[in-house]
Structure 1
């Protein structure tokens, strides 16, 4: 039986704003808002400031003596590269090197780590960590206890400063504050390529913070704009550009792997693939005509299939079709090569490039 979709704490705020909804990882989330649409929401983040409700993202807490060391022995990145008050992008891998999920780890201390996985994978990440946890370490899912607001764009710091929310910490670090009596974790992270912050707040206090951010001038933005923004940066989306079948070596996410660590899930398989060389690699693609890449389209070199699109969209900033595609390394295709997409039997010209498609401003 299909489970009913969950609703975020701010659901009725989105309804009042005329949101169009869609299912994301078991949640009914705003896709775009009336009076704006994807193009205006995308432009707001690139040029001014927007706010996303990303409360569908998972939350889990790992606590107990040596919790950080335990997480570090499980997940791919080296958590010892950061200290308390910093966050890190990392991967939960299967034994074969495939990606169970990509997530952000907040290191509160040696004995306290907060995780934000993807919505659809939260239960599995929690299950795997719980099964591996030694006595004295607890893994607690907190998916619906907290909401997450992403305030993104060139004016994000100024807007939050005006609300008395701290903003002067470094990229991938966080500060703990209070707003209207509620505890808020303010992390210098985001998924848009712009300077921005993700605010983790108890769900029952999310309305006050959301209202304040919107009243201060942030445009409400839906997950459709979030997707066009992340694609312009070449950021991978789990389930498309990373998956149980797509390893971090293939997806060029090896920077999120602590290669010198003695232990993490999937280590042996990943080391073997790195040594042998992957059979396929993720490339950026940009259209040379009016075509728009879409997931699962076949990439052709001449008449020979050499890969498949994993993500594709129209770039509101560049005004061209862009995307990501897994290309067979045996094909010899590389940066700058002109190849083609099979668009329902019609050929569309594309070029292989290295993302991002627009300049990053995250720092």
Structure 2
């Protein structure tokens, strides 16, 4: 139907082979910038129910990664969900559901938060934009948007509306030390603080400009009306911003130790285990999963997310066993080659009972060979996000 030839590619985000064929792409959503990506020679993979660019011709993951660390790159992350909660007391309602405390921020600011179930497992992690006491805009992960919307809508009292706006907006993440200068040249505001947002326009296109990102670098995420995304993308590319795919996005976020839902956070991995308790408003009277998380925090998590940095050659991936001597002590959740440090790095859930401390040496079973790694506290690379 789409005229896309069948190809077998390795997804650098998941480490899995993904067949990109007409049969597969028929079932996938596409960004409003899909044709722009095709013209730039992008390689695609299925991710969260969407067909998204992994890397671009003439670049590749290493060059795209370097562009964000050293200059500026742009990611099309329009696959991310968008939902709006509005009505009298909408912010108070959202605050009673999600983990973080919206009372800590003011309108015009954004907040990382979690949607948990009663067991304390993570349905999704997301960003909440506080527009007013009566309106909150949410950006969940692609595959979890419908479930987040369903849960919020089911719990919403009369007078509060929860609307799925997944394909009403595109999201362009402009990241890197030169991001502010590039956006300023386009007439966009750049001086607002980290995790705050402002309304603005580029070439007559109204958008939301938020100081946030998923790379550890100074950056912005532009929330743009779906049908106007191409005009803003073109302006960024003409300004010299390098297009970057999800392959580089994954290496960048792994260097920062940022979690990816489905790997470091899930219904089976709580925020306490994932060391994401900083995104929980522990003193709030109510939020989904509060009792279970409070109990787990008090008793101590049975496993904890740690960073592992290889001392020898090898590239770890997710779901590899971790050992201390002959004892299996955990499993990796994500792993990659760090383009910045030039070594293999991983995130892993390590059994608390193993008594492993930062600086200790462990081994990762990489395809049947035990490779030594040092336990470290992420980030692996010093962030400059603020």
TM-score range, shorter chain: over 0.9
Give me the whole-angstrom Cα distance separating, in 2, the residues matched to 1:282 and 1:106.
27
- Of residues 255, 264, 271, the one that matches 1:248 is 271
TM-aligned CA deviation for residue 177 of structure 1:
1.1
What residue number does 1:271 align with?
Answer: 294
**3-state SS in 2 of match to 1:185:** strand
Give me the whole-angstrom Cα distance separating, in 2, the residues matched to 1:317 and 1:178.
34
What residue number does 2:231 align with?
Answer: 208
Give me the whole-angstrom Cα distance separating, in 2, the residues matched to 1:277 and 1:355.
20
- Of residues 328, 333, 345, the one that matches 2:368 is 345
What residue number does 1:27 align with?
Answer: 50
* 1:56 matched to 2:64: no
**3-state SS in 2 of match to 1:150:** strand
What residue number does 1:163 align with?
Answer: 186
Aligned length, in residue pairs: 363
* 1:38 matched to 2:61: yes
What residue number does 2:136 align with?
Answer: 113
- Of residues 75, 80, 94, the one that matches 2:117 is 94
> Which residues in structure 2 correspond to 1:1-363 (within 5 Å)?
4-363=27-386
TM-aligned CA deviation for residue 344 of structure 1:
2.3
Give me the whole-angstrom Cα distance separating, in 2, the residues matched to 1:41 and 1:250.
32
Query: What is the TM-score of this pair, normalised by structure 1?
Result: 0.99
TM-aligned CA deviation for residue 346 of structure 1:
1.1
Give me the whole-angstrom Cα distance separating, in 2, the residues matched to 1:114 and 1:218.
27
Cα deviation 1:58-96 (Å, max 9, x = unaligned): 000000000000000000000010000000000000100
What residue number does 2:12 align with?
Answer: none
What residue number does 2:18 align with?
Answer: none
Cα deviation 1:170-196 (Å, max 9, x = unaligned): 000000012222210000000000000
**3-state SS in 1 of match to 2:188:** coil
TM-aligned CA deviation for residue 293 of structure 1:
1.4
Structure 1 unaligned regions, length at least 5: none
Give me the whole-angstrom Cα distance separating, in 1, the residues matched to 2:369 and 2:176.
38
**3-state SS in 2 of match to 1:300:** strand
**3-state SS in 2 of match to 1:35:** coil
Give me the whole-angstrom Cα distance separating, in 2, the residues matched to 1:41 and 1:178.
27
Cα deviation 1:107-165 (Å, max 9, x = unaligned): 00000100000000000000000000000000000000100000000000000000001
**3-state SS in 2 of match to 1:178:** strand
TM-aligned CA deviation for residue 343 of structure 1:
1.6
**3-state SS in 2 of match to 1:123:** helix
Give me the whole-angstrom Cα distance separating, in 2, the residues matched to 1:343 and 1:160.
43
**3-state SS in 2 of match to 1:294:** coil
Cα deviation 1:242-265 (Å, max 9, x = unaligned): 000000000000000000000000
Give me the whole-angstrom Cα distance separating, in 2, the residues matched to 1:345 and 1:360.
34
What residue number does 2:8 align with?
Answer: none
Cα deviation 1:205-231 (Å, max 9, x = unaligned): 001100000110100000000000000
TM-aligned CA deviation for residue 362 of structure 1:
0.5
Query: What is the TM-score of this pair, normalised by structure 2?
Result: 0.93
After TM superposition, the runs of 4+ consecutive aligned structure 1 residues lying more than 3 A away are none
- Bigger drift between 276-285 and 344-353 goes to 344-353
TM-aligned CA deviation for residue 286 of structure 1:
0.3
**3-state SS in 1 of match to 2:268:** coil
What residue number does 2:3 align with?
Answer: none
